């Protein structure tokens, strides 16, 4: 009886929190669906009634829809590739015993603490600016014309900025994973005649599989909705308009809430498609 009672009580005590979470999630979701079927122009007449699927059709047939999906996927994919690759290298490096290890590790994590808006502004003005940026000075030092990062290679620039922000997260997770590897396994492999490269490929990499999966899944969730970095650097121009940014433009710049909401529903669908693919490809690593 006691356990039954305490279970009922614990459910009751959890209820407010669960309720709050549900409301937090369900209200915006329902509102998005609600507005997506309406013609709603706040500054041009407000609610102009139901329009069925018109918003959905307009959003997809717009010339900026497919490029925005491509830009989103390009940034997510690019950032994932760069962060996972360099995070593995950095984790291997930081795992080596060295002087000042503690300080170096904190320094490596530091970028993660910088707000996205701030870091993007720092990159834009201090590194990539064609007049005053460090890169411009570097190019000039070698006698080259400064490269206009954000207009000439805008997608690459945004990917670089976002990668820089997410690299510490990936490094940290992979570093802890490497540290949990049984040293005797590496020694056994060494005696078994595996070269350094073979030890990495046959022992360390499989051991990291699960951690890499987690890094990819978590990063994808956050990267699909990056916004601040684009807002403060290119404002969505030069092919860096992601789906999130397109929705923002529809709602705030065109003042068309209905059209933006329909875009929001597409974003949910895209996120789910990506999630399903990811789970198929890497999810099997989690079962082990």
Site of interaction with another protein (CB under 8 A): 182, 184-185, 187-195, 198, 202-203, 206-207, 209, 288
* Nearest-approach distance from CB 196 to another protein, in angstroms: 11
Nearer to another protein, 192 or 253 (CB): 192
Nearer to another protein, 88 or 230 (CB): 88
Nearer to another protein, 41 or 189 (CB): 189
Nearer to another protein, 167 or 203 (CB): 203
Q: For residues 249 and 119, give the distance between their C-alpha atoms in angstroms, rounded to a whole number.
A: 23
* Nearest-approach distance from CB 19 to another protein, in angstroms: 42
Q: For residues 139 and 41, give the distance between their C-alpha atoms in angstroms, rounded to a whole number.
A: 48
* Nearest-approach distance from CB 209 to another protein, in angstroms: 8
- Lookup: tokens for 88: 């593995």
Query: What one-character DSSP code corresponds to residue 146?
Result: P
Contact residues for 14 (Cβ-Cβ < 8 A; gap 6+)? none
Q: For residues 168 and 109, give the distance between their C-alpha atoms in angstroms, rounded to a whole number.
A: 5
Q: For residues 251 and 261, give the distance between their C-alpha atoms in angstroms, rounded to a whole number.
A: 8
CA-based torsion, 246, 252, 258, 261: positive or negative? positive
Nearer to another protein, 73 or 181 (CB): 181
Can you state the angle between helices 2-36 and 257-282, rounded to 10 degrees?
130
* Nearest-approach distance from CB 7 to another protein, in angstroms: 34
User: Any idea what the Cα angle at residue 32 is, between residues 30 and 33, rounded to 5°?
Assistant: 65
* Nearest-approach distance from CB 201 to another protein, in angstroms: 11
Nearer to another protein, 3 or 180 (CB): 180
Residue with tokens 């940014």: 245
* Nearest-approach distance from CB 193 to another protein, in angstroms: 4
* Nearest-approach distance from CB 79 to another protein, in angstroms: 27
Nearer to another protein, 280 or 288 (CB): 288
Q: For residues 108 and 176, give the distance between their C-alpha atoms in angstroms, rounded to a whole number.
A: 14
Query: What one-character DSSP code corresponds to residue 180?
Result: T
Nearer to another protein, 47 or 192 (CB): 192
Q: For residues 237 and 229, give the distance between their C-alpha atoms in angstroms, rounded to a whole number.
A: 12
* Nearest-approach distance from CB 192 to another protein, in angstroms: 4
At residue 41, the 3 state secondary structure works out as strand
CB 79 within 8 A of CB 157: no
């Amino acid at each position: 009886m006691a356990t039954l009672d305490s279970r009922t009580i614990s459910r009751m005590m959890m209820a407010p929190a669960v309720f709050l979470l549900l409301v937090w999630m369900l209200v915006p979701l329902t509102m998005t669906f609600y507005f997506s079927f309406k013609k709603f122009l706040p500054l041009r007449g407000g609610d102009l009634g139901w329009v069925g699927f018109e918003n959905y059709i307009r959003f997809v047939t717009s010339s900026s829809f497919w490029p925005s999906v491509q830009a989103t996927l390009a940034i997510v994919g690019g950032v994932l590739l760069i962060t996972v690759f360099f995070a593995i290298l950095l984790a291997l490096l930081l795992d080596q015993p060295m002087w000042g290890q503690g300080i170096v590790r904190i320094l490596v994590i530091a970028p993660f603490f910088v707000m996205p808006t701030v870091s993007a502004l720092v990159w834009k003005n201090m590194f990539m600016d064609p007049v005053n940026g460090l890169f411009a000075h570097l190019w000039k030092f070698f006698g080259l014309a400064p490269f206009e990062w954000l207009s000439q290679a805008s997608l690459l620039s945004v990917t670089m900025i976002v990668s820089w922000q997410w690299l510490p997260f990936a490094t940290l997770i992979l570093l802890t994973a490497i540290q949990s590897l049984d040293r005797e396994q590496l020694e056994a492999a060494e005696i078994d005649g595996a070269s350094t490269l073979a030890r990495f490929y046959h022992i360390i990499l499989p051991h990291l599989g699960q951690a890499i999966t987690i890094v990819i899944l978590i990063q994808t969730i956050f990267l699909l909705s990056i916004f601040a970095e684009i807002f403060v650097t290119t404002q969505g121009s030069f092919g860096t308009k992601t789906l999130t940014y397109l929705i923002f433009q529809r709602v705030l710049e065109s003042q068309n809430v209905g059209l933006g909401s329909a875009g929001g529903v597409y974003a949910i669908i895209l996120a789910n498609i990506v999630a399903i693919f990811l789970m198929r490809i890497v999810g099997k690593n989690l079962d082990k």
